[in-house]
Amino acid sequence: MKGTNMNRSSKILYVMLTVILFGSLLGCNENMMATEMEKGKAQMNIEKEQFGTTPDGKKVDIYTLTNANDCEVKITNYGGIVVSLTAPDKDGKISDIVLGYDNLDGYIKDNSPYFGALIGRYGNRIGKAKFELNGKTYTLAANNGENHLHGGVKGFDKVVWDAKEIKQDDAVGLELNYLSKDGEEGYPGNLNVTVKYLWTNNNELKIEYSATTDKDTVVNLTHHSYFNLAGKGNVLNHQLMIDADKFTPVDEGLIPTGELRSVKGTPMDFTKPTAVGARIEQDDEQLKYGLGYDHNWALNDYDGSMKMVASVYESTSGRIMEVHTTEPGLQFYSGNFLDGTITGKNGRVYEHRTGLCLETQHFPDSPNKPDFLSTTLKPGEKYSTTTIYKFKTK
């Protein structure tokens, strides 16, 4: 009896010790998890540094946004330019995958091809640098032959924006504000513009655009980063998919004709992943006009909601970039005018087609094409659109 009671006591003591030990381990694990979470949050950071001074004496800053994965986006308030963006490859190596310059002077040069910039008031081209609104003709700067391109001589890519840092649970960011005054570059209305860049812990660069006006005007904002997912070489082996059955063919000046043409049976068909260079040298009128791809695709099933509309895959790095947007169009530009005359970051010479752009937008020349979706903004209305560039690997 005595021995039996001792066994039972031992068993009870064993169970109690086991429960206590398990509880301690569980608490330890919870503490470790909490520590790791806090560590992740601690890695999210914003740093501000001076980037230089404009020719008219305005100081310019650069902001480094770091997420919990130790990936960074550097953005300057000059032109809202994304100077660098780092993302891991399939082996975890982090590299910069956008084209640009080491310093502000590079971006101020007249020949800078809009590396990483915010584009406005009107992204892309307006034919003959004119449009009519409410019976009045507005004349814009003809800075692309006889046409108007990317907001004119001094578009949103060449102004200093007011900047405010953003910190959220899963992202760090930058809010940029700019008042484009009535008559600036020929556009009517005082346009108050806000652009928010958010860099998330999912390696997403989220861009939220909004604007209001005090007079009827036209607005079409976009982003102009040149991506190279390999971080070197050209982009001809990048596999591109665009969810669009139609595109807007252009004339010799790259102004849309007004037609929506099927991509089927043409070099414009990226409905299935296809190498950028697979058909870029074909004997095709549209490719000759653009010296490659420099066209707008009419995205499928547009209804203003957020959708994944394109993806790019680069096999040597394993990097994938997805493009999600609320916009109806996507301009794919294959870096045709890069010709080796520009030296960018770390002394790298940007040769032909060393970067590609995927610019979410309303269609080019919409103010002159009544059958295209309107880009008119009126007082009391709010322009609002969002685009996300998401980076991952396989």
What letter represents residue 259's amino acid? E
Cα three-residue angle 78-141-110, rounded to 5 degrees: 45
Per residue, the 3-state secondary structure of 244-261, as one string, reads CCEEECECCCCCECCCCE
Residue where the block lists tokens 């640098």 = 129
Active site residues: 224, 359
Kindly write down the DSSP assignment for every residue of 215-232, as one continuous string. S-EE-B-EEEPPB-TTSS
Q: Is the peptide bond before 261 cis (omega within 30 degrees of 0)?
A: no
CA 217 to chain centre: 24
Residue where the block lists tokens 């295209």 = 372
The residue among 153, 108, 101, 163 whose CA lies nearest residue 129 is 153
Check: CB of residue 310 under 8 Å from CB of residue 326. Answer: no
β-strand pairing of 383-393 with 204-213: antiparallel
- pLDDT for res 109: 84
- pLDDT for res 312: 98
Q: Which residues contact 203 (CB under 8 A, 6 or more apart)?
A: 67, 69, 71, 87, 88, 390, 391, 392
Check: CB of residue 261 under 8 Å from CB of residue 302. Answer: no
- What single-letter DSSP state applies at residue 373? P
Rg (CA), the chain: 26
- What is the distance between the alpha carbons of residues 101 and 81, in angstroms, rounded to a whole number? 10
Residue where the block lists tokens 């001094």 = 154
CA 343 to chain centre: 22
Beginning with the edge strand found earlier in the chain, give each strand of the sheet holding 294-298 in spatial order.
261-262, 246-248, 294-298, 329-333, 357-361
Check: CB of residue 236 under 8 Å from CB of residue 353. Answer: yes
Beginning with the edge strand found earlier in the chain, give each strand of the sheet holding 239-242 in spatial order.
162-167, 171-180, 191-200, 204-213, 383-393, 319-325, 307-314, 239-242, 274-275
- pLDDT for res 100: 97
The two structure tokens encoding residue 31:
């503490």
> How many C-beta atoms lie closer than 10 Å to residue 337's C-beta?
16
- What is the distance between the alpha carbons of residues 76 and 161, in angstroms, rounded to a whole number? 9
- pLDDT for res 36: 45
pLDDT tens across the length of the chain (394 residues): 434 444 544 544 444 444 444 444 444 444 444 444 444 444 899 999 999 999 999 999 999 999 999 999 999 999 999 999 999 999 999 999 999 999 999 999 877 899 999 999 999 999 999 999 999 999 999 999 999 999 999 999 999 999 999 999 999 999 999 999 999 999 999 999 999 999 999 999 999 999 999 999 999 999 999 999 999 999 999 999 999 999 999 999 999 999 999 999 999 999 999 999 999 999 999 999 999 999 999 999 999 999 999 999 999 999 999 999 999 999 999 999 999 999 999 999 999 999 999 999 999 999 999 999 999 999 999 999 999 999 999 9
- What is the distance between the alpha carbons of residues 217 and 213, in angstroms, rounded to a whole number? 7
